[in-house]
Structure 1
Amino acid sequence: MADDTSLPLFPLRTVLVPGAALALRVFEPRYLDLVRECGRRGTGFGICLILEGDEVGTPATPAGIGTEALIEDFDMGADGLLTLRVRGGRRFHVRRTRVRDSGLVVADVDWCAPDPTIDLQPEHAVLGLVLRKILEHIDGAGQAFPEPHFDDAAWVGWRLAELLPLEQPKRQLLLQQDDPDVRLETLLRLVDDD
């Protein structure tokens, strides 16, 4: 775990994995402030799965591991609400949290080590094939995933974690996994269970 830092959090009922895109509608003042702050500083914010509480109102209790959200685009929706498109960056461990007067949760985090580049092992080859089949059925997959890395264990694992219809606690389990091969083993078990 490398340098520690403070990161404003946007707890959600969904898990953002590295490399995945996510659309957000922002309307609460604390999150509008978060977006302004990130824009001024040129930084991202953290997305963590909600363990207790709700997405609106009283600050929710976030999971201990989350993903940095980097803002790729923003717009004003037809309903007048700010819409963001973010992409998952680095994973982080939450060391402690505090709540600002605005209700915004800010975490002191340690960044997780980047995934090592590991070739997809023969025992996980079926997952690479599953991912290829999924992408064949997604309109615009060539644009969304312009440089596929079907031989990279981490890339295959994250894309399956993003695209498979998994319950959020199972997706969180994958997010918490540091080793790409163990992540793929976990995916195999999850696919077998469903």
Structure 2
Amino acid sequence: MFPLGAVLLPGELLSLQVFEPRYLVMIEECTAYPDRMSFGVVLISRGQEVGGGDERTAIGTAARIVSARPVAGGRLLLDCEGTQRIRVERWLADAPYPRAEVAPWPDERSAIGDGVIGLLDDRVAELGEVYGELARRRGLSAPVFPALGELPGDAAAQTYGLASRLPLGPADRLRVLSAPGVGARLEVLADTVEDVLAAARFRLSGLETGR
């Protein structure tokens, strides 16, 4: 297991620079056999990434190692891809690295509420407009946030794909990952985008007031 200060979503790419001896040992063992080229990623809810002694969430994502290459200083650069959601059933002793008994957590049946996709798309479109104006005022390129139906894959992949492209913090990303199924995840996304949108509107109003 690799506890981080970030949330990895299924289908998302993750690059890591590994330098702690315990994780170097873990990656060496993961890459020793073709059928063990993965590890679990969970969010650190309290504490630091380096040194241990952290508190960890029980929901995470399995990360498949795509490439591992050594760099100067005995460090290792990893490119990984989130594959499936997992649930931690029991944490084991960190000997010599974090370990846990985990189980896959596939999407549960979850009804999609009437109008939730349209509501989500509307909020994402408005978020793009507000972020675009904020970027313009700062001389930056405007971000592009896609509509749900513009993303590849099935409904589950689209919900995770959208979440990975939005400016969500770790807590909101964990809420998305923890939603039991697609319908619930859409509701969480609509709520979190509304919160991000409110914060963006506030920042924009501050810029307008300060003119």
Structure 1 and Structure 2 fold alike (TM over 0.5): yes
Structure 1 position 111 matched with structure 2 position 104? yes
SS of equivalent to 1:49:
strand
SS of equivalent to 1:190:
helix
C-alpha RMSD of the superposition: 3.0
Is contact 2:63-2:83 (8 Å) kept? yes
SS of equivalent to 1:99:
coil
- The partner residue of 2:92 within 98, 103, 117 is 98
Of stretches 159-168 and 72-81 in structure 1, the one that deviates more from structure 2 is 72-81
Offset at 1:77? 3.6
Compare CA radii of gyration and give the structure with the larger one: 2
- Structure-2 residue corresponding to 1:181: 183
Which has a greater percent of helix?
2
- Structure-2 residue corresponding to 1:142: none
- The partner residue of 1:48 within 35, 42, 46 is 42
**Which runs of 5 or more structure 1 residues have no equivalent in the other structure?**
1-8, 139-146
Q: Which residue identity does 1:18 align to in structure 2? A: P
Q: Which residue identity does 2:168 align to in structure 1? A: L
Offset at 1:119? 9.2
SS of equivalent to 1:84:
strand
TM-score (norm 1): 0.77
Distance across 2 between alignment mates of 1:188 and 1:77? 41
**CA deviation digits over 1:92-130, x for unaligned, max 9?**
11111122332x1110112112577x9997531464685
Aligned in 2, Cα 1:148/1:187: closer, same or farther, shift over 3 Å?
closer
Aligned residues: 175
> What is the percent sequence identity of the aligned residues?
35
Q: Which residue identity does 1:48 align to in structure 2? A: V
- Structure-1 residue corresponding to 2:139: none
Q: Which residue identity does 1:39 align to in structure 2? A: T
Larger RCO of the pair (alpha carbons < 8 Å, separation 6+):
1
Offset at 1:149? 2.2
Distance across 2 between alignment mates of 1:88 and 1:189? 24
- Structure-2 residue corresponding to 1:86: 80
**Which runs of 5 or more structure 2 residues have no equivalent in the other structure?**
129-141, 145-149, 197-211
Aligned in 2, Cα 1:64/1:72: closer, same or farther, shift over 3 Å?
same
TM-score (norm 2): 0.71
